[in-house]
Chains A and B, each alone.
Chain A
Amino acid sequence: MSKVRVLVGTRKGAFVLSSDGKREQWDVSGPHFAGWEIYHVKGSPVDSNRLYASQSSGWFGQLIQRSDDGGKTWKPMDNKFVYDGIAGTHQWYDGTPHPWEFKRVWHLEPSLSDPDTVYAGVEDAALFRSADGGQSWQELSGLRGHGSGPHWQPGAGGMCLHTVILDPANPGRIFIAISSAGAFRTDDGGETWRAINRGLKSAHIPDPEAEVGHCVHHIAMHPSRPGVLFMQKHWDVMRSDNAGDSWEEVSGNLPTDFGFAIDVHAHQPETIYVVPIKSDSEHYPPDGKLRVFRSRTGGNEWEALSNGLPQRDCYVNVLRDAMAVDSLDACGVYFGTTGGQVYASSDAGDHWAPIVRDLPAVLSVEVQTLS
């Protein structure tokens, strides 16, 4: 029988939530790395026992942990993230040049074909890769070498590379997103990159349609259609049907198009999920009602999903990496909140229930579907 393993990163440790295919009874394991910020935990798609975790703290810096037994035990791996060559400068908040400085790993993306290969999206924005299971890291410096690099600026959360998407149909193609530089794509395994922000409009930058400078919050893709991308931008939900070459807005009837998380149904590539947040200055759901919105049409037409979610006095946020889906026949959808709840739906969003209610603030949620 199938099982589900939900990997939760929080402000004070990692948690592993496990259930059978019914997804009704859950076993909670953790905290792992108690007291540390766990920005992201993700499993290899080709070896479900191989997990990678990003562990960090303001006191002790960055660590990378690896598990080879599905999260029962962990081993610290190499934590030396050194920019390739002269790091150079990007723009600081006040517009002055600021040296590139490594701060933390926001996102770990294991290879689709090799459990020992894993990508790390870091702050200050850069992409690193390990080909030896995390024992050493090398920067794919072509990204920072993109001519626009000196003009990138941090968002409120820092200048983070937070999204890494590997194209299952094209091993050389990788999509990444940076707050607040925008989205970029390589078609040659990371040697060269191009900005893919045409169609984005951001009122908070001098040229709202600039090549770079957009605060992209997250991007999602269905593996069966790697040319179709869905984006939650600072404001606006966007869609691309040409691998990011151009984007169109699909916010449609959402109550607000600000938000962080976005994901795609495991079996219906046109069914997408977002969690609208009131505004960039009020990071909680509108009207104190926590609602996921689902579009079955790839955007524009949205329905509110609220069954089982708090509909009054709810003022949590759902961060960019804190939503995921499983691949069981009835697609499971999961998200975590800054209030420490992890909610699950075993029917594609029609009904929700909390798996846990009182974890530390949730930073990330990933799901493994185990056979």
Chain B
Amino acid sequence: MIRVLLPAHLRTLAQVSGEVKVTVDGPVTQRSVLDALEARYPMLRGTIRDHVTQQRRPFLRFFACAEDLSHEPPDAPLPEAVVTEAEPFLVIAAVAGG
């Protein structure tokens, strides 16, 4: 299982509280984690990645293990600590706007 922490608005949309856990088959990457997340919570489709381009939305970032992974390739392996559930994969909403 992979631990994922969503921003508050997406937790409300997905009707979850706190972290969620998703099962990933195969390599644990940004893409595979987000695929698993969207499969379990279809209402999140299009809110983290663009429907067509699959690009990360500009005002969101991906963090793990105190590192900003936003610009890592989507198929790059996530840190081992995420794979072992020691650390969550964080989807962070930028601090912007009013």
Whether B43 contacts A57 by the Cβ 8 Å rule is no
Residues 40-61 (chain A) with a chain B CB within 8 angstroms: 57-61
B96→A61 contact, CB < 8 A? no
A63 to B12 CA separation, bound complex (whole angstroms) = 13
For residue A80, which residue of chain B has the nearest CB? B51
Prevailing SS type, chain B contact patch = loop
B47 touches A (CB below 8 Å)? yes
Q: A76 near B59 (CB under 8 angstroms)?
A: no
Interface string of B78-98 (1 = CB under 8 A from A): 000000000000000110110
B81 to chain A, nearest CB (A): 26
Contact A60 B10 (CB under 8 A): yes
Digit string of B54-71 for contact with A (CB within 8 Å is 1, else 0)?
000101100000000000
Q: Is the CB of B46 within 8 A of A62?
A: yes
The reply to whether A80 and B96 form a contact with Cβ atoms under 8 Å apart is: no
Q: Mark A12-39, 1 if CB is under 8 A from B, else 0.
A: 0000000000000000000000111000
Please determine whether B43 and A76 come into contact, CB atoms closer than 8 angstroms.
yes
State whether A63 and B13 are in contact (beta carbons under 8 Å apart), knowing that A58-B59, A76-B43, A79-B46 are contacts in the complex.
Answer: yes
**Contact (Cβ within 8 A) B13 A59:** no
Does A205 reach chain B (CB closer than 8 Å)? no
Q: Give the chain B neighbours of A82 by CB distance below 8 A.
A: 51-52
Report the minimum CB–CB distance from B19 to chain A (whole Å). 18
Q: How far is the CA of A80 from the CA of B9 in the complex (A)?
A: 19
A59 near B9 with CB under 8 A, answer yes
Interface residues on chain A, number (Cβ under 8 Å): 14
Whether B13 pairs with A58 at a CB distance below 8 angstroms is: no
Which residues of chain A come closer than 8 Å to B51, judged between CB atoms?
Answer: 79-80, 82
Which among A35, A59, A61, A80 has the highest number of chain B CB atoms within 10 Å?
A59
We find that the number of chain B residues with CB closer than 8 angstroms to chain A is 20
Are the C-beta atoms of B96 and A58 separated by less than 8 Å? yes
Q: How far is the CA of A61 from the CA of B93 in the complex (A)?
A: 12
Q: Contacts A35-B9, A36-B9; is A59 near B94 (CB within 8 Å)?
A: yes
Query: How far does the alpha carbon of A76 sit from the alpha carbon of B13 in the complex, in Å?
Result: 8
- In contact, A61 and B7 (Cβ under 8 angstroms): no
- Interface membership of B31, Cβ < 8 A: no
Among B48, B51, B59, B97: residue with most chain A CB under 10 A = B51
- Smallest CB gap from A79: residue in B: B46
Give the residue of A34, A35, A63 whose beta carbon is less than 8 angstroms from that of B47: A63
Q: In this complex, which of A57, A60, A79, A82 has the most chain B Cβ atoms within 10 angstroms of its Cβ? A: A60
Q: Kindly state whether residue B45 has any CB partner on chain A within 8 Å.
A: yes
Write the B1-41 contact mask toward A (1 if CB under 8 angstroms, else 0). Answer: 00000010110110000000000000000000000000000
Interchain CB contact (< 8 A) of B46 among A35, A36, A58, A80: A80
Contacts A82-B51, A82-B52: A57 and B9 contacting too (C-beta < 8 A)?
A: yes
Looking across the interface, which residue of chain A has its beta carbon closest to that of B46? A79
Bound CA–CA A61/B7 (angstroms): 14
- Having A63-B46, A76-B43, one finds 8 other A-B pairs with CB under 8 Å, namely A58-B96, A59-B7, A59-B60, A59-B94, A63-B13, A79-B51, A80-B45, A80-B51
User: Could you jot down 8 A-B contacts, CB within 8 Å?
Assistant: A34-B12, A59-B9, A60-B9, A60-B57, A63-B43, A63-B47, A79-B51, A80-B45
